Amino acid sequence: MTAIAVEKTRTPSPRPAGRTTAPIPMTRVVGVELRKMFDTRSGFWLMASIVITAVLASAAVVLFAPDDAVTYNNFAAAIGVPMTIILPIVAILSVTSEWSQRSGLTTFTLVPNRGRVMAAKGVATVLVAIVSIGVAFGVGAVGNLIGSTVNGTDTVWDMESTQLWAIPLANVLGMLLGFAFGLLLRSSAAAIVAYLVYALVLPPLAELLSATQSWFADVRPWVDFNYAHAVLFDQTPSAEQWANLATSTGLWLVLPLVAGMVLLRRAEVK
Amino acid sequence: MITVESLTKQYGGFTAVDDVSFTAEPGRVTGFLGPNGAGKSTTMRIIVGLTPPSSGSATVSGRRFAEHPNPGREVGVLLDASAQHAGRTGRGILTVAQRTMGLPASRVDELVELVGLTSKEADRRVRNYSLGMRQRLGIAVALLGDPDVLILDEPANGLDPGGIRWMRDLLRGFADRGGTVLLSSHLLHEIEVIADDIVVIGGGRIVAQGTKSELLQAAGTLVRTRGTELAHALELRGIPVQPAGDGALRVDADPATVGEVALAAGVPLTELRSAESAGLEEMFLELTANDDRDHNQDNKQDHNHERTAA
A98/A188 Cα distance (integer angstroms): 9
Which candidate in A105, A186, A264 is best for mutational testing of the B interface (most B CBs within 10 A)? Answer: A105
ipTM of the complex: 0.86
CA distance A53 to chain B (A): 23
| Topology at the third CATH level for domain B220-274 | Alpha-Beta Plaits (3.30.70)
Q: Do the beta carbons of residue B209 and residue B199 sit within 8 Å?
A: yes
- pLDDT at position B277: 61
Does B87 contact A32 at a Cβ distance shorter than 8 Å?
no
pLDDT(B4) > 50: yes
Facing residue for A21 by CB, picked from B48, B73, B82:
B73
Every domain of chain B with CATH number 3.40.50.300 lies at 2-210
Is A112 within 8 Å of chain B by CB? yes
CA distance A182 to A264: 11
Task: Report, as an integer, the average pLDDT of A90-99.
Answer: 94
Interface test with chain B among A42, A110, A117, A269, by most B beta carbons within 10 Å = A110
Is B49 close to A112, i.e. CB distance below 8 A? yes
Average pLDDT, chain B: 88
Residue A13 forms contact with B (CB below 8 Å): yes
Q: What is the DSSP letter of B125?
A: B
- Beta-carbon separation of B48 and A109 below 8 A: yes
Least confident of A4-8, A258-262, B72-76: A4-8
CA distance A196 to A136: 22
A2 close to B (CB below 8 A):
no
Mind telling me how many Å the CA of A269 is from chain B's nearest CA? Answer: 5
Nearest to A62 by CA among A164, A145, A161: A145
Pinpoint the residues of chain B covered by CATH 3.30.70.790. Answer: 220-274
Q: Which tens digits make up the pLDDT trace of A170-192?
A: 889 999 999 999 999 999 999 99
Q: Do B50 and A105 make contact, defined as CB atoms within 8 angstroms?
A: yes
pLDDT confidence tier of residue A4, bands split at 50, 70 and 90: very low
Averaged pLDDT of chain A: 87
Inform me whether the C-beta atom of residue A198 falls under 8 Å from chain B C-beta atoms: no
Which CATH number describes the domain made up of B2-210? 3.40.50.300
pLDDT, mean of residues B165-179: 95
- B168-171 contacts at long range (C-beta below 8 A, 24 or more positions apart): B168/B193, B168/B194, B170/A12, B170/B139, B171/B29
Q: State residue B227's pLDDT score.
A: 81
pLDDT of residue A75: 85
Nearest Cα to Cα of residue A16 among B27, B287, B118? B27
**Interface with chain A: mutation pick from B70, B85, B98, B148, highest number of A CBs within 10 Å:** B85
A37 contact residues in B (CB cutoff 8 A): none
Taking only the tens place, the pLDDT of each residue in A109-139 is 999 999 999 999 999 999 999 998 888 888 8
pLDDT band at A153 (very low <50, low <70, confident <90, very high): confident
Angle A199-A161-A83 (CA atoms, 0-180°, nearest 5)? 25
- The pLDDT assigned to A20 comes to 64
- Give CA–CA dist B256/A256, Å, rounded: 71
- Rounded Cα gap, residues A141 and A248, in angstroms: 32
> Which H, E and C letters describe A53-111, residue by residue?
HHHHHHHHHHHHCCHHHCEHHHHHHHHHHHHHHHHHHHHHHHHHHHHHCCCHHHHHHHC
B72 and A32 in contact (C-beta within 8 Å)? no
